[in-house]
Amino acid sequence: MFADEDRALLAYPHRRFVATDQLLRDDPGGLDAVWPTFCADLSGIIAATTTVPVELLRGLRERPQGRPGEVRALAFKALEVRNIAPRIDGRQPLLIFDLGPAYVSTVADVAARLLVSVLLLNWGRPMSRFVKGPPTRLASVAAQQWSPYLERDIVAGAFRKEVAMRRESIQGTSRRERWGKAVGVATVGARYEVLAMNWVRRTLS
């Protein structure tokens, strides 16, 4: 408990890890090797979000409003694959190092946001990955394992929303840098979005 929660710190035991997006850039073959197990681990996490006792959900903000009778789930704003370190050695558990605020949602929303975060692993820097478009091979493995929870329209909506947020939050240390990033998003990013949405339409039912 803290007298001033605004000054509270989130601390972890020391552990060496490599975040998913960094592993993709530094050792894509290494990520390929652990990716099926990683997706299976995340499938268990997705399922677990629906088993949280109701009393723990009380008082949390609810978004989006689910359909009548739909099972509610505990969601976290920053639950994305880039904030999770896979089990490289096959023994240590997953390390989720940033969750963000908790809220109440649906399991389809939780799964959609995770899949969108996979599709966006190549977004931005380095440009060599940005121009390749979304990592659809990784996304296909994830979609296959998470298929009981995925709905195409929810994934498409979550992807459009995330891309819109990234467009609106372009930053840089100078006007020239911000302008360059805006141009990149308007050109390379537009193609990236088309490729991702085409994949969503072809892959998800």
pLDDT tens for each residue of 12-42: 665 667 889 999 999 999 999 999 999 999 9
Q: Is 61 left (phi over 0), alpha (psi -120 to 50) or beta?
A: beta
Give mean pLDDT, residues 114-143. Answer: 94
pLDDT at 1 over 50: no
Q: Which residues of 75-88 are buried (b: 16+ CB within 10 A; e: fewer)?
A: bbeebbbbbbbbeb
Give the structural domain span for 123.
Answer: 7-203
The answer to whether the CB of 15 falls within 8 A of the CB of 95 is: yes
Per the structure block, which two tokens stand in for 18?
Answer: 């490599």
Whether 1 is in a domain gets the answer no
Whether 191 is in a domain gets the answer yes
Q: How many domains does the chain have?
A: 1
Whether 2 is in a domain gets the answer no
The answer to whether the CB of 204 falls within 8 A of the CB of 150 is: yes
Give bridge partners of residue 76 from the DSSP assignment.
Answer: 102
Q: Tens digits of per-residue pLDDT, 64-110?
A: 666 666 778 999 999 999 999 888 766 667 888 888 899 999 999 99
Give mean pLDDT, residues 181-196. Answer: 83
**How far apart (Å, rounded) are the C-alpha atoms in residues 51 and 68?**
18
**How far apart (Å, rounded) are the C-alpha atoms in residues 20 and 24?**
6
Instruction: Please tell me the pTM assigned to this model.
Output: 0.86
Per the structure block, which two tokens stand in for 74?
Answer: 């505990």
Tell me, what CATH number does 64's domain have? 3.90.1200
pLDDT at 2 over 50: no
